[in-house]
């Protein structure tokens, strides 16, 4: 069975690292992006120039019609998805709960939670033996924020990742007998540009001394863990979480 992977938010940071590594492991790759077509195309060109197979697909994972169209595009251009990484996620400028607005909360939950549910739904419809599928694996990119809470910074983001944790637990049990494994990674303090979205590009450096390992993590370290969870080496692993937080 050909290995086909969809990586949401695949044009930068952890997503881009996953795409590059997946290419070396023989996956045909869908690099999903929202607005940055140039970044997604750069990743795709890098993979194809090295003999791999990849496409860039624009889709807002918070929009049901976009998600459905993305999976249909992959069906047509790459084949049936065998691996999904729900990596797309957003946060907004650091603030306290007494400064939040409903619009902000809804924006974050629509991408981080609704997006993960919609993509998982479409993947299950294709992977599940109950639907005639041949199985597959899903990895949700949660965050250590789901258990740390991110007080004074972004409790809304942390809560959205708590929902992703619950999705991981529930879905893993729901489809375990249908040849689908569902796991999650919980990175923290990784050197990506998501911290700039929170208004503090150098956040990882600021908190590094509070991390037992005394350093931030690299996207490639997260990607390696995700590819392991997707692989047959993790064939008896489902409903599990791997914390990538330097011991925090």
Q: Which of 209 and 11 is assigned the larger pLDDT? A: 11
**Helix (H), strand (E) at residue 58:** strand 53-58
pLDDT of 200 higher than 80: no
Q: Give the pLDDT band (50/70/90) at residue 208.
A: confident
Chain mean pLDDT for the chain: 94
Q: Which residues contact 240 (CB under 8 A, 6 or more apart)?
A: 183, 184, 229
Q: Give the pLDDT band (50/70/90) at residue 191.
A: confident
Q: Give the pLDDT band (50/70/90) at residue 39.
A: very high
- Quote the CATH superfamily of domain 4-244: NAD(P)-binding Rossmann-like Domain (3.40.50.720)
Tens digits of residue pLDDT in 43-101: 999 999 999 999 999 999 999 999 999 999 999 999 999 999 999 999 999 999 999 99
Secondary structure (3-state) at 97: helix
Q: Give the pLDDT band (50/70/90) at residue 201.
A: low
The alpha-helical segments, DSSP class H, found in the chain are: 13-24, 37-49, 64-77, 102-109, 115-127, 145-148, 155-175, 194-197, 203-207, 219-230
pLDDT of 203 higher than 90: no
C-alpha atoms less than 13 angstroms from C-alpha of 191 in its C-beta half-sphere: 8
pLDDT of 8 higher than 80: yes
- The reported pLDDT for the residue numbered 197 is 58
Which of these is catalytic: 154, 157, 191, 236? 157
Active site residue 236: no
Pseudo-torsion of CA 207, 210, 211, 216, nearest 10°?
Answer: 20
């Amino acid at each position: 069975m050909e290995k086909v992977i969809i990586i949401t938010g695949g044009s930068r940071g952890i997503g881009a690292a996953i795409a590059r590594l997946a290419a070396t492991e023989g996956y045909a790759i869908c690099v999903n992006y929202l607005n940055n077509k140039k970044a997604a195309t750069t990743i795709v060109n890098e993979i194809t120039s090295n003999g791999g197979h990849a496409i860039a697909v624009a889709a807002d994972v918070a929009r049901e019609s976009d998600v459905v169209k993305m999976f249909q595009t992959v069906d047509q251009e790459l084949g049936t998805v065998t691996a999904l990484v729900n990596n797309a996620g957003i946060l907004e400028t650091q603030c306290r709960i007494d400064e939040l607005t409903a619009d902000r909360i809804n924006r974050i939950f629509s991408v981080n939670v609704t997006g993960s549910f919609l993509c998982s739904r479409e993947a299950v419809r294709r992977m599940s033996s109950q639907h005639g599928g041949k199985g597959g694996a899903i990895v949700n990119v949660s965050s250590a924020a789901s258990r740390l809470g991110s007080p004074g910074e972004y409790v809304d983001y942390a809560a959205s990742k708590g929902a992703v944790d619950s999705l991981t637990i529930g879905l893993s049990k729901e489809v375990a007998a249908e040849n689908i494994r569902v796991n999650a990674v919980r990175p923290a303090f990784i050197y990506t540009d998501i911290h700039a979205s929170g208004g503090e590009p150098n956040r990882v450096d600021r908190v590094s001394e509070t991390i037992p390992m005394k350093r931030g993590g690299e996207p490639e370290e997260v990607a390696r863990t995700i590819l392991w969870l997707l692989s047959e080496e993790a064939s008896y692993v489902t409903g599990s979480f791997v914390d990538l937080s330097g011991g925090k």
